Amino acid sequence: MAFTTILTLASALFALACGAFFAFLHHVRADSAVWQGSAVFVLAQLGLFLWYLMTMRSRMMAILERLSSTVQSLIDGGGPEAFPAAEDSMLSKLQDQVLKLSRILSSQKSRSEAEGREIKSLITDITHQLRAPLANLGMYGGLLEDGRLSPEKRAEFTRVIRDQTEKLAWLTDSLVQLSRLESGLIEIRPERGAISDAVMAAMKTVYPAADLKKVEMQFAGRQDVELSYDAKWTGEAIRNVLDNAVKYTPAGGRIGISIELYELFVRIDVADSGRGVPEQERPKIFQRFFRGASSADTEGIGIGLYLARKILTEQGGYMKVESEEGKGSVFSIFLPVERDPTG
């Protein structure tokens, strides 16, 4: 429509120019050679101008049709480019912008679909994890209704219900943390401080469980390393790793915690003298709800290491494991440090 308007205006201007020219010729004798030659010239120019306008209109309509087809093919999921990328023209630039927009929209669609699948998987996993303790509560609650139960059995079933209730509360809290992390509802708030503070706080929370098993915990390494990190959530990640180490370290074993500073990262090692992780299970231990065959006799739901890695990833860090069956494992936590702009 805009191009048609431009053509109309150009034609009108040309007609006005011709009108002015003919008004000038009105003062020239009609039988003079000047008048006749000028009239022929103006008519020829008018014809050429109209031919040029119609040709340009046809070319522009053809180009716009090609561009429209290209856009439609992109909407439908692909198609060849209508204009060479190397062509330095407005249409090729417009096409390039359309292609970029198409790639952005495609990427956003893929990301949205992946998030949808992740949420669906998370809901399925949560439902599965809640089913067992809820079933146990229902079963033992029903058994308590039996009036023939002995006082000993009644006390035993009551303890089971209490244990299952505590487990359900802990499980629910863990799943709430997981869902908040997965959905991005948790905001990481980094503040500058000594990373050893988070390590010490995490060690205090798992000390009772370690002491109960007579597992010795030793801290070594630097305590003066400062960086910007979220103390609350980083402490939670370290606690999960330490809790995992206590669970899989036999009574009388040892857990060593150390801190080392590198140019770009600070490294926190948690080394235990536990059973180790079988080689075939190592690539999976950071997966959500993964429980290997070697951990069947140990309480847990396979969420601690997954949460720890998720928290570290949110801060630009990562975690890895080195393990040897029968000798123990070393879980290494890496968090980025700021580079000195003057150095």
Tell me, what's the pLDDT at 238? 94
Is position 90 within any domain?
no
Question: Would strands 216-221 and 191-194 be described as parallel, antiparallel, or unpaired?
Answer: unpaired
Give the range of the structural domain holding residue 138, as residue numbers without chain letter.
114-182
| Interatomic CA distance for residues 129 and 164, integer angstroms | 13
Longest dimension (CA), the chain: 135
The answer to whether position 245 is within a domain reads yes
Same domain as 322, residue 206:
yes
Q: Give this prediction's pTM.
A: 0.57
How many domains does the chain divide into? 3
Round to whole Å and give the CA distance between 300 and 289.
9
Co-location of 33 and 59 in the same domain: yes
pLDDT in tens, 230-275: 998 999 899 999 998 998 898 999 999 999 999 899 999 999 998 8
The residue among 161, 182, 203 that closes a domain is 182
The answer to the question of residue 258 being in a domain is yes
Tens digit of pLDDT for each residue in 270-325?
A: 999 988 888 888 888 887 766 666 655 556 566 788 888 988 998 999 999 998 88
Name the domain boundary from 61, 82, 103: 82
Together in a domain, 173 and 268: no
- Among left, alpha and beta (phi > 0; psi -120 to 50; other), residue 184 is left
Residues 198, 328, single domain; the answer is yes
Same domain, 74 and 123: no
Q: Which of these three, 149, 182, 215, is where a domain ends?
A: 182
Under the banding of pLDDT at 50, 70 and 90, the label for residue 104 is confident
CA pair distance 175, 186, nearest whole angstrom:
13
Token output for 331: 């879980």
Report if residue 93 sits inside a domain: no
| Span between the terminal Cα atoms of the chain, in Å | 61
Asked, for residue 102, whether it belongs to a domain, the answer is: no
